[in-house]
Amino acid sequence: MGNYADSLTYNYLGADAPPTREERIGACHAFCGSCSELAGGMKTGCAQLQNRKFSQSGGCQLNLAVGIVSSFTNAVMIIHSPLGCCSNFVGNTGLRKTMRASKGKPNEEFVWLHTNMDELDVVQGGIDKLRKAVLYAEREYHPDAIIIANGCVPGIIGDNIDSLVGELKDQITAKIVPVHCEGFKSKYVASGYDSAYHGVLKHLIDPLKKEISAIPGADEEKDIKDRYRISRTVNIFNVGSNSNGDEVELSRLLSAIGLIPKVLPLHASVDDLKHIGEAALNVSICATHDDYLLGHLKERFGTDYLIDTLPIGIRNTNQWIRKIAAYFHLEAEAEKLIAFENAELNKALDLYKPVLAGKKVFVGGGETRILTTAEFFYSLGMELVGVKAHNVDRFVDDMIDDMQAPELLIEVGAGQPAEELNLLRKLKPDLYIGHLNANGWVSKLGIPNFPLFGQSLNYMGYSGAFELARKAVKILKNTNFVRNVSANISLPLSKEWYNRDPKENIKEAVNF
Amino acid sequence: MAEFIERAKFTCALGGALTTIAGINRVIPIVHAAGGCAAALSGTYNLAAGYRGTGYCGGTMIPTTNISENNIVFGGEERLEEQIENSLEILDADLYIVITGCQVEIIGDDAVGVARRFKDRNVIGASTPGFLGNTFKGYDAVIKAIIKEVVTPAENKSLNTVNILGVVPGHDVFYRGNLDEIKRLLGLLGIRANTFFGTGESIADIRRYGEAALTIVFSNQAGIESAELFTELHDIPSIRTDLPIGPEATESFLYQIGEVLGIEKEYIEAVTEKEKRKYYSFLERIVDIYSDIDFQRYVIVAADSYYAYPLTRFLANDLGWIPFITAINDITDEGEQENYKKKFEGITSVTKPRVTFNQNAGELIKEVRGSWPFNHNQKYYDTFGPAFVVGSSIERGLAEKLGAGFLSVAFPVSNRVVLSKGYVGFQGGLTLLEDLITELVSAR
């Protein structure tokens, strides 16, 4: 799979904003059919040219972009837009508190500003208000970074945010980071990650200059130590769906084969980001999130990168470790670790396998996460009845082939619960595992479920695999909640819809 | 020109429209906008209104045209028509309301006009772009569309029926419990209350709202335009009043309504006496602990104008706490600010609160520090305390800095789960007391 990323280039920093993923890698966001049909459609390009007759609210790249940059330590967010864009911060401020606490970082009040664009600003432009907001943020909070994310309105009316950044950047101490993430620009909402990283790469990743020591020979000694440290350092790129438990587990595994793990960039400080180039290898744990960042870092710092599988379940965790170990010629160490860990884990899982054997499972969410999760539950003896991906791109080509399940049902769509519930009602899985915002609907349908990630849920690595199996068994121990809910709370879907094939909702259309 | 806002406690007009629609039984929004608006805006109130949830057709279930760059250039009306047609087949509702996002309004799509073509199939439309204003603008846009298109004009008015406006679902985190208590209170006087969002009310009921004799508006910011439209189209006069929290406010509320509708004073007196006796029979339980430990607190109230005065009035006049600052975040017009300030003249505590208007949440701490004498390390110093903050989840940080007790009541409320609870009326006063005093004893 690394091969696919190798075919891409990442030198886009000359532009204010990155290309959308539709332009950059092409992706399918509307599909319903079998895995083999999808794989064929992706190769011919047909799958990328589909859309919906009836659509429901999915995601917005603004929210994904802001999800990354708002996590930085001592940063103030400015949302340049009318009030609604990112108004959901009011419900999420507590998440920052618990997330930081779980990582042992001191509590920090999350501060954000809205430029609150109104009708007059639509006509006259909103740059003056944005200037005031930036100066207020600097004066009141002295942050390390002031991050400006813009919504659709300034994008359509043509507010020139970058020229404002140029004007202000030498007047204030904070780094100003523009993030261009207008929602209408991309149906492939993961484009938002590229928007965020574009801003970060352009304005925050500023390598520290070396200080020269006055003591003769001191530099040489320090250089040798630094070079050794860097030659063993692996940057693990975390994403919003990682818990601290995941980061601890993945760091443990890399430490066990003699490497120095460093977890970046979510919840990092501006200073941490300055050291981002000090690593021998950058490791993605999810291609959908960070190929843009890793590809760029390779071009700029020469740091090699690895974009492979997500370390979820046994097989994929093994593979993840082997690929990293191979880069450092630590194959023997890796095999020793894998043999030891697999033996212990398999013994522990033996208790759960009889409970899960033969039960039907359906997984929905981000493409790599669902495929690896599905593989794990399949390996425990469960029957995989279908998957639903937010979108599908070439990064998972190999993974779909590896599944060796050409007939497996796959639906592609961010959100789109009507299609998904239609399928679930027909497939009747015993267990559903799904992305945020999907599980409530599934409960109303009466299907036991649990979330695809969670702040306190260790999901990755070997300890994560055990937790996943344990959770599945726990959920099935008492399914009364969903039974009662489905018997008494109705869904808004018509009877006729359930009788139809959701495939009928997909049509050929331009993809921009 | 509106100013930028630090940590705004609002979403935009489209968000307001969504939370309003989600409050009405079996009504579905059809959003003409880019793909993310609906779910994200719905999410604001799902999480931050005491975990109100997506409801019947909120969150990702909301039908949306998902317009993209192509439509920005070529227009999106055709796409909207296709989306309405399919929504009517796939989704099951009593009413569908087409509402709009910023993008399609800037390019000039006539979404309300497209909706009109489906009028005979229970579709109406309202223009609700985010740049129109905050939550309240969206609330009024939706309610006005309903008053115009759904409510049937009635020649004969029912003299003991009133319409309730200004209670914005979700933005009033306790709206269901509050409306149910308002219904119960007015019911005690033989008045029937139409609330749009109350338990058991449906579109079939809303069609008959033209029969009401009076509209009661509980807000200075939301519902005013809707009330005017009720007057204009349905000849229903309106009055504005404050949300009645606790015995004192509820009693005067009932007299106020009784006077407008011509209900005998003796009758109202008999009703309130009975309710007050019940209230104090429960309140009696905390008299000992309140007095033995001294549960009187200095209090800072931070809320929008809907809750700010009603909460302060209850805390000062009924509970006997010392109102120190009441900070209001939603009134920007100076004339209206002066009018709102006048309400506080009736506060009966010896100390009156300092009333401030500021949209920037972070500035309240400066207000507090600036209005209490500084500690210059003198030997004897009157500290600000014991203190309590009644506000939104955003004021939790303020309470922590002050070492004060804390209860979130005004939007956003993300640290509590709210189901049937309400703070209005006699019953709501008791509930508020339970929650405040629980906070003071919860570490035991």
Residue B251 carries which DSSP code? H
Contact at CB, A140 and B362, closer than 8 angstroms: yes
Burial profile B274-283: b = 16 or more Cβ within 10 angstroms, e = fewer: ebbeebeeeb
Q: Are residues A297 and A162 in the same domain?
A: no
Chain A neighbors of B83, CB-CB under 8 A:
54-55
Shared domain check, A379 and A326: no
**Tokens 């449906």, residue located:** B202
Range of the domain at A264: 220-343
CA–CA separation, A155 vs A152, rounded Å?
5
Which CATH number characterizes residue B245's domain? 3.40.50.1980
Q: Are residues A264 and A189 in the same domain?
A: no
Residue A29 lies in a domain: no
- Assess: ipTM above 0.90: yes
My answer on whether B82 and B163 are in the same domain is no
Q: Which of A82, A495, A496 has the CB atom closest to B12's CB atom?
A: A82
Task: Fill in the DSSP letter of residue A351.
Answer: T
- A363 plus A321 within the same structural domain: no
pLDDT above 90 for A98:
no
> Is there a domain that residue A421 lies in?
yes
The DSSP secondary structure of A98-110, one letter per residue, reads HHHHHTTPPP---
What pLDDT sits at residue B1? 57
Nearest to B21 by CA among B110, B118, B98: B98
Q: Are residues B83 and B130 in the same domain?
A: yes
Q: Which residue of A has its CA nearest to B133?
A: A118
Cβ–Cβ under 8 Å, residues B214 and B239: yes
* B253 falls within a domain: yes
**Helices B265-283 and B246-261 meet at what angle, rounded to 10?**
170
pLDDT (average), residues A361-381: 96
What is the C-alpha separation between B326 and B335, in angstroms, rounded? 18
Please determine, for residue A435, whether its predicted confidence score (pLDDT) is greater than 60.
yes
- Please tell me the distance from the alpha carbon of residue A352 to that of residue A357, in angstroms, as a whole number: 9
Q: Which of A87, A120, A124 to mutate to test the interface with B (most CBs of B within 10 A)?
A: A87
B-chain residues near A55 (CB < 8 A): 35, 63-66, 83
Say whether B5 and A114 touch across the interface (CB within 8 A). Answer: yes
Q: Is there a domain that residue A44 lies in?
A: no
Instruction: Please calculate the CA angle A287-A293-A298 and round it to the nearest 5 degrees.
Output: 105
pLDDT class of A1 with cuts at 50, 70, 90 = very low
Mutate to test the interface with A, among B3, B9, B10, B12 (most CBs of A within 10 A): B12
CB spacing of A88 vs B131 below 8 angstroms: no
Could you tell me which residue, A239 or B187, shows the higher pLDDT? B187
A430-441 exposure pattern, b = at least 16 Cβ within 10 A, e = fewer: bbbbbbbbbbbb
Is the same domain home to A180 and A290? no
Please check whether residue B206 lies inside any domain of the structure.
yes
The single-letter code of the amino acid at B183 is K
Instruction: Please indicate, yes or no, if residue A199 is contained in any of the structural domains.
Output: yes
Q: What is the mean pLDDT of residues A346-351?
A: 97
Quickly state the pLDDT bin for A512 (edges 50, 70, 90).
low
Q: Which residue has the tokens 């443990």?
A: A252
Residue B1 lies in a domain: no
Q: Is the CB of residue B72 less than 8 Å away from at least one CB of chain A?
A: yes
A496 touches chain B (CB under 8 A): yes
Q: Domains in chain A: how many in total?
A: 3
CA dihedral A438, B143, B82, B80 (to 10 degrees): -100
Q: Is the domain of B106 the same as that of B28?
A: yes
Residues of B in contact with A130 (CB under 8 A): 4
Average confidence (pLDDT) over A104-122: 95
Contact criterion met (CB below 8 Å) for A399 and A371: yes
Residue B33 and residue B115 in one domain: yes
Task: Give the Cα separation of A33 and A368 in Å (integer).
Answer: 18
Looking at residue A328, its pLDDT comes to 98
Residue located via tokens 């075919």: A7
Selection from A435, A428, A412 nearest residue A482 by Cα: A428
Check if B32 contacts A (Cβ < 8 Å).
Answer: no
Helix, coil or strand: residue A490: coil
* Residue A111, in any domain of the structure: yes
**Best CA proximity match to A20, nearest among A61, A58, A48:** A61
Model confidence pLDDT, tens digit, residues A293-307: 999 999 999 999 999
Q: How far is A20 from chain B (nearest CA, A)?
A: 11
Considering only CB atoms, A117 lies closest to which of B41, B131, B411, namely B131
What is the residue type of B159?
Answer: L
- Smallest Cα distance from B361 to chain A, Å: 9
Cβ neighbours of B369 in A, within 8 Å: none
Query: Quick one: A69 and A194 in the same domain?
Result: yes
Q: Does B436 reside within a domain?
A: no
Q: Out of B4, B15, B132, name the one closest to residue A119 (CB).
A: B132
- Scored b (16 or more CB within 10 A) or e, B143-167 reads bbbbbebbbeebeeeeebbbbbbbb
Among residues A308, A343, A378, which one ends one of the domains? Answer: A343
Lowest mean pLDDT segment, chosen from A288-292, A396-400, A416-420, B89-93: A396-400
Q: Determine contact: B430 vs chain A, CB below 8 A.
A: no
| Judgement on whether residues A376 and A305 belong to the same structural domain of the protein | no
Residue B88 DSSP code: H
Which regions of B14-170 does DSSP assign to beta strands (E)? Answer: 27-32, 95-100, 123-126, 158-165
Q: Is the dihedral of CA B198, B199, B202, B204 positive or negative?
A: negative
Could you tell me if A83 lies within 8 Å of chain B, comparing CB atoms?
Answer: yes
User: What is the share, in percent, of chain A residues with pLDDT greater than 90?
Assistant: 81
The pLDDT-based confidence of A93 (bands split at 50, 70, 90) is: confident
| CATH number where A279 lies | 3.40.50.1980
- Both A88 and A186 in a single domain? yes
Cβ neighbours of A493 in B, within 8 Å? 90-92
Whether B424 is in a domain gets the answer no
Which residues in B lie closer than 8 A to residue A504 (C-beta atoms)? none
B54 touches chain A (CB under 8 A): yes
The CA distances from residue B278 to A397, B282, B291, in Å, are 69, 7, 21
Q: How far, in Å, are A313, B296, B309, B399 from residue B300 at the CA level?
A: 51, 13, 12, 9
CA gap A74, A65 in Å, rounded: 17
Residue that terminates a domain, selected from A203, A236, A262: A203
E strands present in B92-157: 95-100, 123-126
| Those residues with Cβ within 8 angstroms of residue B255's Cβ, 6 or more apart along the chain or in another chain | B265, B268
Predicted confidence at residue A3, as pLDDT, reads: 66
Together in a domain, A335 and A411 = no
Beta carbons of B83 and A54 less than 8 Å apart: yes
Confidence of residue A511 (pLDDT cuts 50, 70, 90): low
Judging contacts by C-beta atoms under 8 Å, the chain A residues touching residue B415 are: 94
User: Which regions of chain B are under pLDDT 50?
Assistant: none
Q: Residue A56: inside a domain, yes or no?
A: no
Report the candidate in B96, B77, B81 with the shortest Cα–Cα distance to residue B30. Answer: B96
Pairing label, strands A145-150, A175-180: parallel
Is residue A189 a contact partner of residue A390, using CB atoms and an 8 Å limit? Answer: yes
Amino acid at site B100: T
Is A41 within 8 Å of A20 (Cβ atoms)?
no
B225-261 as b/e: b if 16+ CB within 10 A: bbbbbbeeebebebeebbbbbbbbbbbbbbebbbeeb
| A455 CB within 8 Å of a chain B CB | no
In terms of Cα–Cα distance, which of A166, A190, A199, A192 is closest to A270?
A199
Beta bridge partners of A409: A34
Alpha carbon distance B79, A426 (integer Å): 29
Distance (Å, whole) CA B49 – CA B413: 5
The reply to whether residue A118 touches residue B131, judged by beta carbons under 8 angstroms, is yes
Instruction: Say yes or no: A386 and A496 in one domain.
Output: yes
**Co-location of B257 and B304 in the same domain:** no
Q: Is A199 found in the same domain as A66?
A: yes
Segment A143-162, tens digit of pLDDT:
999 999 999 999 999 999 99
Are residues B120 and B173 both part of a single domain? no
Put simply, whether B296 touches A (Cβ < 8 Å) is no
Interface subset of B 97-116, CB within 8 angstroms of A: 101-103, 106-107
| Contacts with B66 from chain A: Cβ below 8 Å | 52, 55, 57-58, 187
Mean pLDDT of chain A: 94
How many Å apart are CA A434 and CA A475, to the nearest integer?
A: 14
Report CB contact under 8 Å: B60, A52.
no
Answer yes or no: is B307 within a domain: yes
pTM: 0.96
Outline where A159-215 has alpha helix (H).
161-168, 191-203
Last residue of a domain, one of B277, B304, B328: B277
- B399 φ/ψ angles, rounded to the nearest 5 degrees: -60, -40
B127 and B183 belong to one structural domain: no
- Amino acid letter, A486: S
Q: How far apart are CA A346 and CA A351, in angstroms?
A: 9
Q: Mark which of A318, A343, A368 sits at the end of a domain.
A: A343
- The separation between CA B327 and the C-alpha centre of its own chain, rounded to angstroms, equals 16
The residue range of the domain holding B183 is: 158-277
Q: Which two tokens stand for residue A224?
A: 């040798």
Closest by Cβ to B28, choosing from A94, A490, A492: A492
pLDDT band per the 50, 70, 90 thresholds, residue A206: confident
Of B419, B140, B32, B393, the C-alpha closest to A88 is: B393
Could you identify the residue written with the tokens 């994560």? Answer: A464
DSSP string computed for B171-204: TBTTHHHHHHHHHHHHHHTT-EEE-SSSTT--HH
Q: Which of residues 137-166 of B touch A (CB under 8 A)?
A: none
**Alpha carbons A324 and A484: distance in angstroms, whole number:** 47
Same domain assignment for residues A266 and A381: no
Burial (CB count within 10 angstroms: exposed 0-12, middle 13-18, buried 19+), residue B3: middle
> What is the pLDDT confidence band of residue A211, given thresholds at 50, 70 and 90?
confident
B232-247 tens-digit pLDDT: 999 999 999 999 999 9
A494 chain-B contacts, CB cut-off 8 A? 89-92
Asked if residue A252 is part of any domain, the answer here is yes
Q: Report the domain count for chain B.
A: 3
In a domain? residue A19: no
